[in-house]
A and B are shown apart, each in its own frame.
Chain A
Amino acid sequence: MERKDFLRNGMGILGLASIVPMLNGCGKDDNTTSTDTDTTTGTDTETGGTCTVSDTETDGPYPLYSSRGSSIQRVDITDGKTGLPLSIVITVRNVKNNCAVMSNARVDIWHCDKDGYYSGYSNTGYLGTQDNTALVFCRGLQYSDSAGQVKFTSIYPGWYTGRVTHIHTQIYVDSSLKLTTQIAFPDAINTAVYKTSRYSAHGQNSITNAQDNIIMDSLDNELATVTANSTTGGYDLTHTIYISA
């Protein structure tokens, strides 16, 4: 959705001065609006159907990126953060190549910790202000393998005022930014997770996916498949992102 709509709707719904910085941070950035069209289609070689570029979303206030000197090119992005284990598998597919899987695409992801705080900058939440400038928890990047997949190990994200649970992601191919988008979680699982002991202090988020101004219009392609993992006691997330490359 567009920034102006988000800000208008967000302010109307929430109307709290204290959350304005966070809303600004999460609003769609005019200059980040992708030139990719979401009407590009291709034929999925596996299903015989068509695929469409995943919706573009804001990159939020402070995404971080990496290179060979990167402190975030890694599989385990937990950095000691507590929470329910979350295994993340993202598959990248290319609508310009019959929806075939795309190898060697750089996938950056970042999400907040169980209490709704990001690493990389100073942010304010229900536990007050935390200066996480020097930290990189819950941030990672990987290059997709021959199956078009990247894998991360993390913790189930928490939430912060104004947003439903989400993961930010950005896809580069050959040093070209192809897509900035977000990944949503099923409402019922969010609710279940936030009842558990590590998350219950923050309580339940008052908004659901359908009420979230960023992804409410994009759920059809941004909602991940999330299943319980009896071995880890956490969850496994799988999601496919379609790019035009």
Chain B
Amino acid sequence: MEKALVKLSFRQIIDMHARTSFEKDVFQESYNEFLLQVQAYNREQQFTTWEQVRAANPKAGSLNYKVGFSIGLFVKGLQQQIPGLSDNLGNPVAFEAHRFEIMSADITNKAAHKVSIVYTTGTLTLFGALGEYMLLAAGDQLNNPDQQEVQTFMLKLQPLLSVSACVLQGLPQRPRGFATPCYKQ
């Protein structure tokens, strides 16, 4: 397979079965915040579920941002390590960005609260796939004219893990940071 620059995204789903302290914090606080914020879109209290609120007012989709920032310090506490994802040696995988989303919620039923956080890595170099494993290195290692040794790691393909951005080697050179057809910032 062709070498490429990629970003990987891993989705963590958190619901009433939250186990770690991080998951419990996110479950608890995001639900509390949802109860506060949904009021702006439910003034007559005619809705009970997130789906109803969003269907009635598409603008309510902004609650994903609003509620998401209420867990900002918890995410910061992860110290840029994706929870639940490690390489083949057990080392954590670093993320640069995250996106919070409410999957379901019910004003009258906390047990229905379910959210996801998608963590996205910085730029990685994907050298290829070996069986179920991707051979990766941090940063852009496509140009290595001096043939310096590069630290690599191997990551197993698994559910909830996806390549979310890529730049294939051999594409026309573009200024760094410029979006290419398969590379989104």
Contact = CB atoms under 8 A, between A and B. Distances in A.
Given A67-B32, A136-B72, A32 B41 contact: yes
A138 B86 CA distance: 35
A71 interface: yes
Interface in B22-69: 25-26, 29, 32-33, 35-37, 39-44, 56-57, 59-60, 62, 65-69
Mostly helix, strand, loop or mixed at chain A's interface?
loop
Contacts of B32: 67, 175
Contact of B43 (A32, A64, A71, A72): A32
A61 B69 contact: no
Contacts of B99: 133
B72 A34 contact: no
A6 interface: no
Nearest to B53: A31
A48 interface: no
- Secondary structure of the B contact surface, majority rule: helix
A177 B72 contact: no
A36 to B, nearest CB: 10
Nearest to B39: A177
Interface string B143-162: 00000000000000000000
Contacts of A131: 185
B18 interface: no
Interface in A135-166: 136, 139
Nearest to B98: A134
Contact of A134 (B35, B42, B57, B97): B97
A120 B99 CA distance: 11
B33 A66 contact: yes
Interface string A54-77: 000001011111111111100000
Interface residues of A, number: 33
Nearest to A170: B40
Given A66-B69, A72-B69, A177 B41 contact: no
B29 A63 contact: no
A142 to B, nearest CB: 15
B76 interface: yes
Contact of A31 (B33, B42, B69): B42
B73 interface: yes
A35 to B, nearest CB: 6
Given A31-B43, A32-B43, A33-B43, A65 B37 contact: yes
Nearest to A27: B59
A79 B42 CA distance: 32
B69 A71 contact: yes
Given A31-B42, A66-B70, A71-B69, 4 more contacts: A33-B43, A35-B44, A133-B99, A134-B98
23 contacts: A29-B41, A30-B57, A31-B43, A31-B59, A33-B43, A59-B40, A61-B62, A62-B65, A63-B66, A64-B69, A64-B70, A65-B37, A66-B69, A67-B32, A68-B29, A69-B26, A70-B69, A121-B62, A121-B65, A134-B98, A136-B72, A139-B69, A176-B39
Interface of A: 29-35, 59, 61-72, 120-121, 131, 133-134, 136, 139, 170, 172, 175-177, 180
